[in-house]
Amino acid sequence: MSDTSTIDRRGLLLVLSSPSGAGKTTLARHLMATDTAISMSVSVTTRRPRPGEVDGKDYIFLDEDRFKAMADGNELLEWANVFGNFYGTPHAPVEAAISGGRDVLFDIDWQGAQQLSEKMKHDVVRVFILPPSAKSLEQRLRARAQDPEEVVRKRMDAAAAEISHWPEYDYVIVNSDLQKSMEGLSAILTAERLRRERLNGLTAFVRDLQREL
Ligand SMILES: Nc1nc2c(ncn2[C@@H]2O[C@H](COP(=O)(O)OP(=O)(O)O)[C@@H](O)[C@H]2O)c(=O)[nH]1
Ligand SMILES: Nc1ncnc2c1ncn2[C@@H]1O[C@H](COP(=O)(O)OP(=O)(O)O)[C@@H](O)[C@H]1O
C-alpha cells in the first residue's frame, strides 16, 4: 500500500542577503519565531558585539587569529571580509541539519551566497531583500541606533555595490511592509519545500499509488 511516511525531504538552505539596514535580521527573527522546521546558521565574526547582541546566538564573536585558524582548518563552509571584518559560516551544524531533513536560514552577504551556491548548488534558495528607497534605508540604519555615524555612512556607501548582485538571487522581496514581506518569505519557503527534487522516496510512493489504482 502507498505510504506517505516513505517520503522524506532533504533540508534546504535559505539565504537572505541585502544591503545593511534593509531588514534581513528582522525578517530572519520573525521567520525563526513562526517556523519550527528551520534553524538559523550562527556565523562567526571578528566584528565587535552590538548592544544587546548575545554571543553564541546572534554571532559567535572571536578574534582574528581564531577566525583564521577556523578558515585554515576547513571549519568554515564560506567566509568573507565585509566592511573590514571577517564573517564565516561554521560547516558542521549545516551538514548535521540538512542530512536530518532540517532547513537552515543564513543571513550572509553576496560573497557568501556565491560560495554556498558553488558548494551546495541544489540545496540553496537565495532571496535578496531590497529597501523601498534610499531614504528609508538611511532612516532604518539610523533608527537601529546601534552603529556610530561613520559606520552608518560606510554602510550607505556600500549599499549600491551590494544591490548590484540582485540578479544572482532566485527571489527578490522589496521590504516596504514587514507583514507582506513575511508572507512573501513564507510563501517562498512553502513552495521550495514542495519541489520534486527535494523529496526522497517519491518515485517509490507514486509507483505504489499507481499499482493501487
Ligand atoms: N559571507 C558572510 N557574510 C556574513 C556572514 N554573517 C553575516 N554576514 C554579512 O555581513 C554583513 C554585515 O553584518 P552585520 O555586521 O551583522 O550588519 P547588518 O547586516 O547591518 O546587521 C551583512 O551583509 C551580513 O549578511 C557570514 O557568515 N558569511
Ligand atoms: N519593513 C520594515 N519597515 C520599517 N522598518 C523596518 C522594516 N524592516 C526592518 N525595519 C527596521 O529597520 C532597521 C534595520 O533592520 P535590520 O533587520 O537590522 O536590517 P539588516 O539585518 O538588513 O541590516 C531595524 O531597526 C528594523 O526594525
Query: pLDDT by residue (tens digit) across 109-157?
Result: 999 999 999 999 889 999 999 999 999 999 999 888 777 888 889 889 9
Cβ proximity of 99 and 89 under 8 Å: no
Cβ proximity of 172 and 166 under 8 Å: yes
> Which residue has 557568501 as its cell numbers?
112
Best CA proximity match to 176, nearest among 144, 142, 130: 130
> Which residue has 523601498 as its cell numbers?
132
Atom of ligand 1 nearest to the CA of 16: 25
pLDDT of residue 146: 76
pLDDT of residue 49: 94
pLDDT of residue 151: 86
> How remote is the CA of residue 134 from the centroid of ligand 2, in Å?
13
Pairing of strands 199-200, 8-9: antiparallel
148 marked ligand binding residue: no
Nearest residue by C-alpha to atom 3 in ligand 1: 108
22 marked ligand binding residue: yes
Tell whether ligand 1 has an atom less than 6 A from the beta carbon of residue 111.
yes
- Using a pLDDT cut of 90, give the percent of the chain over it: 81
**pTM: predicted TM-score of the whole model, two decimal places:** 0.94
Tell whether ligand 1 has an atom less than 6 A from the beta carbon of residue 43.
yes
pLDDT of residue 176: 98
- Predicted ipTM of the assembly: 0.96
Nearest residue by C-alpha to atom 6 in ligand 2: 23
46 marked ligand binding residue: no
> How remote is the CA of residue 136 from the centroid of ligand 1, in Å?
20
The segments of the chain whose pLDDT lies below 70 read none
Tell whether ligand 1 has an atom less than 6 A from the beta carbon of residue 23.
no
User: How many CB atoms are located within 10 Å of the residue 47 CB?
Assistant: 15
Nearest residue by C-alpha to atom 5 in ligand 2: 140
Look up residue 177 and give its DSSP letter.
Answer: S
Segments making up each domain of the chain, as ranges: 4-206
28 marked ligand binding residue: no
> Which residue has 577556523 as its cell numbers?
70
pLDDT of residue 145: 73
Nearest residue by C-alpha to atom 21 in ligand 2: 25
- CATH fold for the domain made of 4-206: Rossmann fold (3.40.50)
Which mutation among 43, 50, 138 tests ligand 1's pocket best, with the greatest number of atoms within 8 A of CB? 43
Best CA proximity match to 104, nearest among 38, 165, 151, 152: 38
